């Protein structure tokens, strides 16, 4: 089991720029390396209204774009609640990018009360993510957001 306090400290040290693009790439690579049994880690960003656009990630090429109305990622963006799915095969709305994926954790990333994007994590192992993993990954998302200057692409 991961010690997420240690991972949060390591990620804080790794993110030594304010650039959100660099930091999102580093964060996805860091989680992929440090958290066992994952097959995909990455960011989807709301760069068009109500639509998630694929950002930096680790793993197989993935689905793009994803509207807020669809899939586990869309549900996280729409409800602004973390989605923790034990078995994506039981979710009719799930968008299958990689047939190997079984468990999924999607954390909404809110900036100034707007959905900036989501962090999506997939595992080939059913029930991979516990409540502790959810809290730990949410902690890593807070590290990423605190370390990064997020520009609102729609405000100018
Ligand atoms: N399974 C996700 C789509 C993204 S991929 O897993 C990378 C979903 O249902 O939203």
Q: Is 63 in the pocket of ligand 1 (CB under 6 A)?
A: yes
Q: For atom 6 of ligand 1, which residue has the closest CA?
A: 97
pLDDT band at 149 (very low <50, low <70, confident <90, very high): very high
Which pLDDT score is estimated for 155? 44
Q: Say how many Å lie between the first and final Cα of the chain, rounded.
A: 44
Share of the chain above pLDDT 90, in %: 90
> Can you name the residues that pair with 121 across neighbouring β-strands?
41, 105
- As a whole number of angstroms, the distance between CA 41 and CA 60 comes to 10
Question: pLDDT by residue (tens digit) across 128-137?
Answer: 999 999 999 9
β 51-59/40-48 pair status: antiparallel
Q: Is 66 in a helix, a strand, or coil?
A: strand
Whether 1 has a pLDDT exceeding 90, the answer reads: no
Tally of CB atoms within 10 A around 129: 23
> Can you name the residues that pair with 84 across neighbouring β-strands?
105
Tell me the mean pLDDT in the region 1-13.
Answer: 96
pLDDT band at 151 (very low <50, low <70, confident <90, very high): confident
Q: Is 71 in the pocket of ligand 1 (CB under 6 A)?
A: yes
- Peptide bond connecting 65 to the previous residue in cis, omega within 30 degrees of 0: yes
Tally of CB atoms within 10 A around 50: 12
106 CA from centroid of ligand 1 (Å):
9
Sequence-separated (6 or more) residues with CB below 8 Å from residue 3 = none
Name the token pair of 83: 């989605």
Best of 61, 64, 96, 102 to mutate for ligand 1, by most ligand atoms within 8 A of CB?
96
pLDDT band at 148 (very low <50, low <70, confident <90, very high): very high
99 vs 58, more confident: 58
107 CA from centroid of ligand 1 (Å):
12
Name the token pair of 105: 């954790």
CATH architecture entry for 4-149? 2-Layer Sandwich (3.30)
Q: Can you list the alpha helix ranges (DSSP code H) found in the chain?
A: 4-14, 20-34, 71-79, 131-147
Question: Which atom of ligand 1 is nearest the CA belonging to 59?
Answer: 7
Q: Is 37 in a helix, a strand, or coil?
A: coil
Mean pLDDT of the chain: 95
pLDDT band at 153 (very low <50, low <70, confident <90, very high): low
Whether 154 has a pLDDT exceeding 60, the answer reads: no
Question: pLDDT by residue (tens digit) across 73-124?
Answer: 999 999 999 999 999 999 988 999 888 999 999 999 999 999 999 999 999 9
Q: Is 101 in the pocket of ligand 1 (CB under 6 A)?
A: yes
């Amino acid at each position: 089991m991961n010690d997420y306090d240690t991972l949060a400290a390591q990620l804080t040290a790794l993110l030594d720029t304010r650039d959100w693009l660099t930091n999102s790439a580093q964060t996805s690579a860091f989680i992929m390396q440090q958290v066992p049994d994952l097959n995909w880690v990455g960011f989807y960003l709301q760069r068009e209204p109500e639509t998630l656009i694929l950002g930096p990630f680790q793993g197989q090429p993935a689905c793009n774009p994803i509207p807020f109305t669809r899939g586990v990622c869309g549900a996280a963006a729409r409800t602004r609640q973390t989605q923790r799915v034990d078995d994506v095969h039981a979710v009719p709305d799930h968008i299958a990018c990689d047939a190997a994926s079984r468990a999924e954790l999607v954390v909404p990333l809110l900036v100034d009360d707007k959905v900036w994007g989501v962090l999506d994590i997939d595992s080939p192992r059913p029930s991979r993510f516990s409540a502790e993993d959810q809290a730990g990954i949410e902690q890593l998302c807070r590290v990423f957001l605190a370390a990064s200057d997020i520009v609102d692409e729609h405000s100018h």
